[in-house]
Amino acid sequence: MVMFVPDFHLAVVGVAGTIAGVAAIAMSVTAARRNDGRALMLGLAFSVMSELLIVHALATPGALLGPNGVVEVAGALNLPFSGLILSASALPALRRPHNVKTLLRVQVVVVPAMAAIGAAGLVWASHLPIVPTPSSLAAELIFAGTAPPLALLAWRASRTFLLTRRRADLVVAVGVVWLIGAQYGLLNFTMMDAAWWVAHGLEVAGIGMIGIPAALDLRHGIASRPLVGDLHADALVRNEEEFLGGRVRALLVRLGEKDPSTEGHTRRVATLAVQIGERLGLPEGRLRQLALGGLLHDMGKLRVPDEILKKPGRLTDEEFAAIRRHPSDGRELLTELGGFPATVLDLVESHHERIDGAGYPNRAPAGELALEVRVLTVADVYDALTADRVYRDAWPAARALELMVQESGTAFDPACVEALRATVASQQAAETPAAEPVADWRVRPLRSVSGRSAAA
């Protein structure tokens, strides 16, 4: 049992309402400028949160008003309303630009309406009943309806953290969990209980832990990733690049200077590999390693002489042997640098292996190839075929896919090839009204393209 002066409650909750209000303004303004419906939903959620908190603070018994029911209603409905709106921010439909105008109209109506209702409630506060009473059935039902949407947000933020390893994403996940604890305390204790005050502390801290990172994300031009939960493959690859140490980035720069086509190739392969891995249901940690392995898989080409790497004609047997050493050279180089997981080293060394054991450098059979390796192999070969090389022009997507289907079960894992086809089809559907038709190409075996492997 504790007792604080009413003005203390007014100040604490007022601070929380101010934080939420500042975050709401930042989110809404940035979202409107960037035509981002998901970010606008975040702004609406924090607007509702801010208004209810301020009403809850102003209705503090013994501060500006006497005993009243507004303080209970505003405190009980704050997190349920804002939590539902936050959960809805991940809806795919909100990515469509025309929905932003609709959401702006909704916000223009909802925010003043709630302010008017709150003001009326404060005027008539003494006439309103105190509901829900602590630990009542109504209170438990409200918590039962509040916890699942907030738990979904916590799961979404935790998943994003496993992908990005950004501390800000972890802060958001912890902040949402604290809001769940805060809601339980607010609904089951009274102002005379220490737990009630602890719940308010959790609420203030939780709002700050969610609102500040979300506003900072918007400042950088993205909707809050831990809240909307849709970190795309290209963003994951960029994050992995940012986490690379200075020496590794310097080597990647050297590789780009040595062979500009390889620099773009590695990023595209990493992105495509993550997309294939997502379709195959790989968990977050393995997707991160797949992205990193994709970025680094051709690092061994730093040891390939320029006259071989950039030769426009057919390679001699000796030159092709030098090319075939780059996977082993890449693993050796990264091992010397240190700090890379075993899976990443395997991806670098084994991305030219075939499931029939006819690949290089170790002729490893399918049973020795992790799923990540088989995914990276498919992504690597497809991008190599569909990009211009010094020894040939790029192939159309349909031709490359047909060759890979022919080699499915011998060179490539059939499940990975099918996931690749689905990924390419979805990309084509997004880029053009109709997917590219599959032409009747007559393709040669994979290992006979211009005297070198297709992805060498």
Q: Give the per-residue SS3 of 358-418.
A: CCCCCCCEHHHCCHHHHHHHHHHHHHHHCCCECCECCCCHHHHHHHHHHCECCCECHHHHH
| Rounded average pLDDT over 17-34 | 84
Q: Decide: 23 and 53 in contact? Cβ < 8 Å.
A: no
Residues comprising the chain, all counted:
456
Neighbours of 338 (CB within 10 A): 8
Closest CA to 216 of 208, 224, 205: 224
Quote the Cα angle for 434-438-439, to 5°: 125
- pLDDT at residue number 443: 45
Higher-confidence residue of 158 and 374: namely: 374
pTM: 0.65
Q: CATH number for the 6-228 domain, one of 1.10.600, 3.30.1330, 1.20.1070, 1.10.10? A: 1.20.1070
Q: What is the pLDDT of residues 239-266, one digit of tens each?
A: 666 666 666 777 788 888 888 777 788 8
- pLDDT at residue number 412: 95
Res 375 pLDDT > 90:
yes
Domain coordinates of the chain in residue numbers?
Answer: 6-228, 233-448
Domains 6-228 and 233-448 in one fold: no
Q: Which residue has the tokens 């018994």?
A: 61
CA 390 centroid distance within chain: 36
| Rounded average pLDDT over 430-446 | 49
Please provide the average confidence, as pLDDT, over all residues in the chain: 84
- CATH number of the domain located at residue range(s) 233-448 in this protein: 1.10.3210.10
